[in-house]
Amino acid sequence: MALLRKKIISANWKMNITASEVSPYLTAFLEEIKGINEVDVILIPSFTSLPKTSELLSSLQGIRLGAQNISSHDKGAFTGEISAVMLRDLFVHHVLIGHSERRHLFGETNTIIHEKMKISHLNQMNPILCVGETLEERRSGKEKQVIEHQLREAFSGLSVNQITHTMIAYEPVWAIGTGQTASVEQAQEAHFFIRSLIEELSDASVSQKIRLLYGGSVTPENSEELLSAPDIDGALVGSASLDPRSFAKIVVQAQRNCTKE
Ligand code: PGA
């Protein structure tokens, strides 16, 4: 029997939703997801909205908090950086590492991403490692090569236990914020490839346990089909997560998808 991996739906609010907007958002969102208990939900606000979101989520089971970035340093003279310990203090359990906007707009290299992976694991934060190719790389048939390189660098030297406690988001750069979603076939092929590589980097049981998310223009209209692919265990949602009702629809569909399996 195939191992059932719990679906996970994560909202990446990026540089949107202020601290004072969190409460009305959560009121609307929680109303829409009543009775949903078979899906893991992660909210990833901006740093300034983290304390408020953390406070409001503290009495709720089942919704976890993530951060959009983490410093690769422990502490000290690093103006503008946020450390793992600071995030843990706000009950943050997850952190996005290597998001394509960090890689492409802020020059994060695979080396920096590797450092961030190490520091988040050392602090018991479960990273959501983002990988994915640009349009040029896909057009020249290099997508697997790029994904493999990103994964090998990020996981280099990590223990099997640390790999197990990582989630991977496959986010083709050309699909992020563009309205152009990868087809289910393209996404499934990439996810299958990632799972096979994880088996090589750890073992078969880890590769069957690790959860792989798809990200890139996920909406309530396309999420059901994407989530039905065998190796897609969830979604990382940007634009469509800014509206609590549209994000809730994706969560509800994920639950429906679990109960179908
Ligand atoms: P999008 O963003 O859903 O707006 O494409 C996804 C992401 O960047 O994580």
How sure is the predictor about 1, in pLDDT bands with cuts at 50, 70 and 90? very low
Share of the chain above pLDDT 90, in %: 90
User: What does the pLDDT average to over 130-149?
Assistant: 96
Q: Are the C-beta atoms of residues 125 and 87 closer than 8 Å to each other?
A: yes
Torsion 110-112-113-117 (CA) sign? positive
User: What does the pLDDT average to over 28-45?
Assistant: 95
Q: Could you give the 3-state DSSP secondary structure of residue 213? A: strand
Residue nearest ligand 1's atom 7 by CA: 238
How sure is the predictor about 43, in pLDDT bands with cuts at 50, 70 and 90? very high
Cα of 61 vs centre of ligand 1, distance in Å, is: 25
Say whether pLDDT at 187 is over 50: yes
Per the DSSP assignment, residues forming a β-bridge with 8 are 40, 234
Contacts with 140 (C-beta within 8 Å, 6 or more apart), sequence order: none
User: What does the pLDDT average to over 39-51?
Assistant: 97
pLDDT digits (tens, 9 = 90+) for 206-260: 999 999 999 999 999 999 999 999 999 999 999 999 999 999 999 999 998 876 6
Say whether pLDDT at 202 is over 50: yes
99 is annotated as an active-site residue: yes
Q: What is the structure's pLDDT at 261?
A: 56
Residue nearest ligand 1's atom 9 by CA: 238
Q: What is the structure's pLDDT at 259?
A: 66
Pocket test for ligand 1, best of 237, 241, 250 (most atoms within 8 A of CB): 237
How sure is the predictor about 16, in pLDDT bands with cuts at 50, 70 and 90? very high
Cα of 62 vs centre of ligand 1, distance in Å, is: 22
Pinpoint the alpha helices (H) of the chain. Answer: 19-32, 50-57, 84-89, 100-105, 110-122, 135-139, 143-155, 160-164, 184-201, 204-209, 223-227, 244-260
User: What does the pLDDT average to over 160-170?
Assistant: 96
Say whether pLDDT at 144 is over 90: yes
Choose the CATH number for 7-243+250-260 among 3.40.50.970, 3.20.20.70, 3.30.460.80, 3.40.50.300.
3.20.20.70
Q: What is the structure's pLDDT at 62?
A: 79
How sure is the predictor about 156, in pLDDT bands with cuts at 50, 70 and 90? very high
User: What does the pLDDT average to over 73-96?
Assistant: 97
Pocket test for ligand 1, best of 218, 242, 247 (most atoms within 8 A of CB): 218
- d(CA 34, CA 197) in angstroms, rounded, equals 37
* Ligand 1 binding pocket includes 72 (Cβ within 6 Å): no
Short-list 174, 206, 166, 204, CA closest to 190: 174
What mean pLDDT value characterizes the chain? 95
Torsion 243-249-252-258 (CA) sign? negative
Q: Are the C-beta atoms of residues 98 and 150 closer than 8 Å to each other?
A: yes
Short-list 104, 111, 193, CA closest to 150: 111
* Ligand 1 atom index nearest CA of 169: 9
171 is annotated as an active-site residue: yes
Share of the chain above pLDDT 70, in %: 98
Cα of 242 vs centre of ligand 1, distance in Å, is: 11
> Out of 66-75, 196-205, 241-250, 252-261, which region has the weakest mean confidence (pLDDT)?
252-261
